[in-house]
Amino acid sequence: MGDTIFGKIIRREIPADIVYEDEEVLAFKDIAPQAPIHILIIPKKEIPTANDIQEEDAPLIGKLFIVAKKLAKEFGVDESGYRLVINCNKDAGQAVYHLHLHLLGGRKFTWPPG
């Protein structure tokens, strides 16, 4: 497991507000929420960026979205709407180099993004 902050969360070396876990996926509340609902859904497998996703990761990546839509329903934003975001590298503002899907909801979002 890589030594990112999310690796430490997976290994329970630092705390997080975990809202979902299975063998392959972990989801927890973002520490600096940008919306009333802001959850990060991550693979336990260490994949640094979207560029590093391999063909064999397709089911795992699909699972991130399945977990995201279940959490959207659980947190009551499935009907009102939500945004799913993966930032890749510096122009997108990626800060943590462990792949993560942002689930944002509970307010309106502008499009295009700033």
With CB under 6 A as the contact rule, which of the stretches 45-53, 64-72, 93-101, 103-111 interacts with ligand AMP? 93-101
Residue from 55, 91, 93, 114 touching ligand AMP (CB under 6 A): that is 93
Asked if 31 interacts with ligand AMP (CB under 6 A), we say yes
98 in catalytic set? no
Helix (H) or strand (E) run with residue 9 in it: helix 5-10
Part of the chain binding ligand AMP (CB under 6 A), chosen from 18-26, 69-77, 86-94, 104-112: 86-94
Using CB under 6 A as the binding rule, whether residue 46 contacts ligand AMP is answered as no
Q: Which long-range contacts (CB under 8 A, 24 or more apart) does 42-48 make?
A: 42/6, 42/10, 42/98, 42/99, 42/100, 42/101, 43/99, 44/10, 46/1, 46/2, 46/4, 46/7, 46/98, 47/98, 47/99, 48/2, 48/97, 48/98, 48/99
The reply to whether 71 sits near ligand AMP by the rule CB under 6 A is no
Provide the binding-site residues for ligand AMP, judged by CB under 6 A: 5, 16, 28, 30-32, 40, 87, 93-96
